[in-house]
Structure 1
């Protein structure tokens, strides 16, 4: 956990320049120890040499300053403060640069009033710009602390293990929970080392099961961690470090769920992975983007959040392309990491020490607009954020619960544990609705693995893509509560399938018709103007998909059949259904389909598929079908 931020480097430079003309001590032995500390490799050696230097001359200002900087870098802020306060109380040379350093330490220790008071003592004209920036940071942190958000954390005792538990993740349906666990191991002579493994727990109606390690091949003798699930629960992403098959030091891997089993982990490959370090992968709910953290060149800071485009292949494997940093306003010249994109596909939570916060790494929220631009990140507030380091913040599918790791809530300074909180209303993502489906052969009833595509009926753009489970044909999706969506499925050897998704029903059952003469399908996403044969613009994507299907299957000829409800005169309905069938046929011809492969007819209200006594029944009876000839 790094506290040596950019400002510390600036302060070190200032002090180096300040004392470049000579030391405040005349003791040669003290100077010798000081110089030895500069040459030492380990922090413990540096500390020992500097303490010896101070013993030789307890007025050696530079040694105090250097020692406090080392403790700050080790995250032992209280010790850094103690050293600087000793220096100040000793009436030794206490420069404005050192006051800045002490104020910075107070800030990182959560003592914001002291930080403000100390920085206000700085009078050096050359430091006024820096003073102004620091005052802004300190006052912002104090403002957050003085206006806490609702916070009632609950320890997830069943999920937590006797070891450090962190990087929580939960499937969008709330049924499976996974964590990274730091497990102690011992070599053959009894030396302790630590290994990161993936653990999993399941929701059983009113409680979580006891967390257990995932079996091989998910866990290996190496380190696995920083895991996440795709919105449909079909993919699990995680990071493996020091694997001889890695492209870099730590690479992103994924596994595909088939039935109740996970596939052997696969390296996500380039350009998602590089010769550098990658971590914190999370897939967008649309299934076409993966967000991750990397330190590769091309970003703005030490670590940046990047995105990479994803293609889901027919067998479920993934291909990535076009990796790009998110840039501003998400990334800064410091570090941004651990992104979490909610199932609404608009709300991102991430950790940063580059945006205004409370001292360490804080959690921020940003919203994506319709053009794909991210809003200026907002600090989610105190006491979710503290002067320490917060990361690994995830939110459930409903958007009302959040999960994170902490060792501060119950004053357990050595063990990280997972906590659950009710997410404040202003920090919640947009409401979503789950959809659960199954695809099977209409004749044999056998489950089918095929690509699932869900599209926005308003914009005709693809919203979600995944594959159904190979073993049971199931799939799931999380869709924005506000919106109208359609489902499209194409599978070799089967008739094109399309349906408007019913907002009142969570279940989508798809019986694919084998491509045989007489098989038919209703075009649920084809719309006409009222009492007209004019096709609405919202239907253009449906026509495009149908034309592509016909171009892929050149041996298929179809008959287009129009139907109406029984409202109105029968002869009028018959003519309207004929005009609508012909309108679709002409639209397909304009798309390049050979007219000889098409025919059209109207059936009026003579073939209803539902009751003719309700508005819902009338709506279902008004339809256009295609029949394979």
Structure 2
């Protein structure tokens, strides 16, 4: 350790072209060598004392000022560092001191002063190539910071109060999808043996209810940096130095079963390696787990990665798929604290290497379905400052952000919220909360739910299974149209059309109580995602997912003979409606026949507006009456 640090000091001093022999008497130089040796041994106090003695004899001793500047930099005493760099500069023409002064003023957030010294250093023609790139980035950051301070974003943080915060440190806030609860990490400083991180949950709807520990997951070891699934039944989190760990820090998981969290387990390979893996963020469709890692193969020190989450094996362990490095986000520095919003598009993270205010800044970006990253930008001042700003989460409704800060030094880290500037808000979402039961027995059915975005040709359908209580939660970005299908062996499948506009928000979610019809003669299902051209029987392309679902159903139940029924609302001429409904029913039969369903199993009939299932007096009622019905007529 001593020799490696001594080598660094020698290189630093050589870089600054210190000319020890040219200064002072032999006793002074002997004292300086002693001070430098003490510094290499991390004995800063004695080294500073020796340097002070040198400066009493020779106040302009350049080497001593530079050595003191180096020590004060290591000690984060930036103003003292600047003081000694300035004094050294008076008796040295080494241009590297200008760069060092630029760096020091930048760390203090004194951007105009930093930019001035960077520009002065830029005149030097002998700048190493690697430092040229760094210099360009720092100058760009200074200009960005000056402009950001002149054009601040809205930022009025509010302490969440004593039902969340305590004299201990609280951080890493995770709001639940419905916005009613907040899960967070608390550092218990008054722990019997040593400070310990545990999980707590608070009720955001009540100022009276004190945060409670999640006792099933908490252990005598540390747990922190958690993420929740949309239904709050899966938790991934960071744990370090565990006996079942792969590296220094790994990602662990727990599941909510019968109202209780299961004991935490390592999430396994290839997510975890011998390297550092931490700070997971799970997409609301359970498709990807984002995390930070310093594993080999990245672009910088700590990179942000994502890995496909394929659900759980029969043994209850996570199954993992494709692993990706988010190259468009990562730099040669550190990228940490990833957060994917509930819309699975808006993404937030911290970096110390992108253009910013200094230290770690917070950034936002958008991630397309294919993984392409767009619109990467700094979140601006005063969200970001010259200090480290390293993580935030955002409510599913998109207007409130949560973060941790030591704004009151006596309290330590507390959790704050603030209304997010409109230009930084993520795209809005709503959610479907469905309960699936057997229509006859009323028992819950752990059915498969498929959701198809009809506005996208590239986005894959989402498939999720209801739990043992027949319940499922699905997050849906607004301004899109969806086909919603529920299926289970032995039942007719359920079909629903969802056209989401701005009036749907998390304060007004879609609640569905779905009763699946057992397969038997006379049973029927209403299909709402078969679409036709206006006043025509020509089937539109967005009907394909629903029709393929019907093909699969008939292939899996080859003994069934069904009637395809066409229905309309009461708009228009009844005779025309009847004829149109017959032609549309026949179009479905023709499609099924083209996909190898035997024509002898199919009967078509149109009923026009004669069999309404809702009032034709409202737009919603007319929408429900325009449908295709599949009725089982024999087995």
TM range (shorter): 0.7 to 0.9
Q: How does 1:428-577 map to 2 (within 5 A)?
A: 428-459=425-456, 461-462=459-460, 464-471=462-469, 473-501=470-498, 503=500, 506-567=510-571, 572-577=576-581
Alignment of 1:284-299 (within 5 A): 284-299=283-298
Q: Contact 1:149–1:382 (CA<8 Å) still a contact in 2?
A: yes
Residue of structure 2 in register with 1:34 after alignment: 36
Partner of 1:224: 223
Q: Count how many residue pairs are aligned between Structure 1 and Structure 2.
A: 604
Deviations 1:573-626 (A, max 9, x none): 444333322322332233333445444333444432223444443332221122
User: Equivalent residue for 1:4?
Assistant: none
**Corresponding residue SS for 1:107:** helix
Q: Is the 8 A contact 1:288 1:465 kept in 2?
A: no
Name which of 588, 606, 612 aligns with 1:608.
Answer: 612
* 1:263–1:153 Cα change, 3 Å: same
SS of the equivalent of 2:223 reads strand
Comparing 129-138 with 246-255, greater Cα deviation is found at 129-138
Q: TM-score, with normalisation over the residues of structure 1?
A: 0.87
Measure the CA separation in 2 of the matches of 1:226 and 1:295. Answer: 16
Q: In structure 2, what is the equivalent of residue 97 of structure 1?
A: 96
Deviations 1:254-309 (A, max 9, x none): 33334643333343322222221111111223321121111112221111111111
Distance, in Å, in 2 between the alignment partners of 1:487 and 1:195 is 45
Residue aligning to 2:138? 134
3-state SS of the aligned residue for 1:443? coil
Provide the residue aligned with 1:6 in structure 2: none
Whole-angstrom distance in 2 between the partners of 1:112 and 1:612: 66
Give the 3-state SS of the residue equivalent to 1:610 in structure 2.
coil
Structure 2 distance, partners of 1:274, 1:591, is 47
Asked if residue 213 in structure 1 is aligned to residue 210 in structure 2, the reply is no
With over 3 angstroms needed to count, the CA separation of the structure-2 counterparts of 1:466 and 1:171, relative to structure 1, is farther
Q: CA deviation at 1:143?
A: 2.2
Question: Given that residues 526 and 628 in structure 2 are in contact (C-alpha distance below 8 angstroms), is that contact kept between their aligned partners in structure 1?
Answer: yes
Contact 2:38 2:44 in 1 (8 A): no
Structure-2 residue corresponding to 1:167: 172
Structure 1 equivalent of residue 125 of structure 2:
125
2:4 paired residue number: none
CA contact (8 A) 2:20 2:63 kept: no
Q: Distance in 1 between matches of 2:476 and 2:208?
A: 26
CA 1:611–1:375 in 2, change beyond 3 Å: closer, same or farther? closer
8 Å CA contact 1:358–1:386 kept in 2: the answer is: yes
Describe the SS at the equivalent of 1:455: strand
Q: Distance in 1 between matches of 2:367 and 2:8?
A: 35
CA contact (8 A) 2:183 2:200 kept: yes
Would you say 1:16 and 2:14 are equivalent positions? yes
Q: Distance in 2 between matches of 1:226 and 1:32?
A: 45
What RMSD, in angstroms, separates the aligned Cα atoms of the two structures? 3.1
Give the secondary structure class of the aligned counterpart of 1:583.
helix
Q: Residue in 2 aligned with 1:3? A: none
- Could you give the per-residue CA deviations for residues 392-429 of structure 1, whole angstroms, max 9, x where no partner exists? 2111112111111111x33x177111111111111111
- 2:332 matches 1:324: no
**1:2-81 superposed matches below 5 A:** 15-19=13-17, 26=26, 27-35=29-37, 37-38=39-40, 40=41, 45-48=42-45, 50-51=47-48, 53-55=50-52, 57-58=54-55, 61-62=62-63, 64-73=65-74, 75-81=76-82
Going from structure 1 to structure 2, the CA distance change for 1:231 and 1:154 (only over 3 Å counts) comes to: same
Secondary structure at the counterpart of residue 257 of structure 1: strand
CA distance in 1, matches of 2:70, 2:414: 30
Partner deviation per Cα, 1:152-182 (whole Å, 9 max, x = no partner) = 1111112112111111111121011011111
